[in-house]
Amino acid sequence: MKVSVLCSSTTHPVYPHLEQWVRGAAANHRVELVRQKGELTGGDILFLISCHEIISPEDRQKYGATLVIHASDLPEGRGWSPHIWQILEGKNRIVVSLIEAQDPVDTGAIWAQRHLVLEGHELSDEINAGLFAIELELMDHALEIIGSGKPVPQDDRPPSYYRRRTLEDSRLDPSRSIAEQFDLLRVADPQRFPAFFDLRGRRYLVRIEKAGASDE
């Protein structure tokens, strides 16, 4: 099969994982990893992974199937950064859905689902590692079932939507305890969107890491 993977940013933490997946999949398929829709050449499957461009029906018609991975139990949790919002809501079990790209966004039929199970202590890099492993597993699964599997339409539960996160969403309140804000601390990307607080006329960035055995 001819497979395209579109990821908009090489600085996104998923990108190195996609590069590794492409190298492995290339043993049995023709695979390209691109950053802009203008680079797409058509084929059997298009994966949209952390894609920030609008992929029109005309773009999708170049492929037999265009698939998206969305970390929520759709139709609940449509929109932006769903796993982050859910962790901030106190959830430790997150559904990861492989769906067809469709208009409106996040309304496509579901091909497969997996569960990301957390214990509540994981930091951003650990959360990402678990999520990305499931995403790659779903991509592998898609290569196996395309042409034989049948996607299931999303059910009739009322949909819910998450807004796009901004830098302001990483703000800490210095008058509140660490325990109260721990989930915000652990989901904040320490490189791209570190947690921060303002105090006495200055802004401070906060990055945390787990202590190793020798630090305890």
Tell me the pLDDT tens digit for each residue of 132-188: 999 999 999 999 999 888 999 999 999 999 999 999 999 999 999 999 999 999 999
- Domains belonging to the chain, first-starting first, are 2-162 (3.40.50.170), 167-215 (3.10.25)
Q: Which two tokens stand for residue 140?
A: 């592998």
Other CB atoms within 10 Å distance of the CB of residue 171: 16
Q: For residue 215, name the pLDDT band (cuts at 50, 70, 90).
A: low
Helix (H, G, I), strand (E, B) or coil at 207: coil
Mean of per-residue pLDDT scores for the chain? 95
b vs e for 95-131, b when ≥16 Cβ sit within 10 Å of the residue's Cβ? bbbbbbbeeeebbbebbbbbebebeeebbbeebbebb
- pLDDT tens for 80-99 read 999 999 999 999 999 999 99
Q: Is residue 46 within 8 Å of 57, Cβ to Cβ? A: no
3-state secondary structure of 106: coil
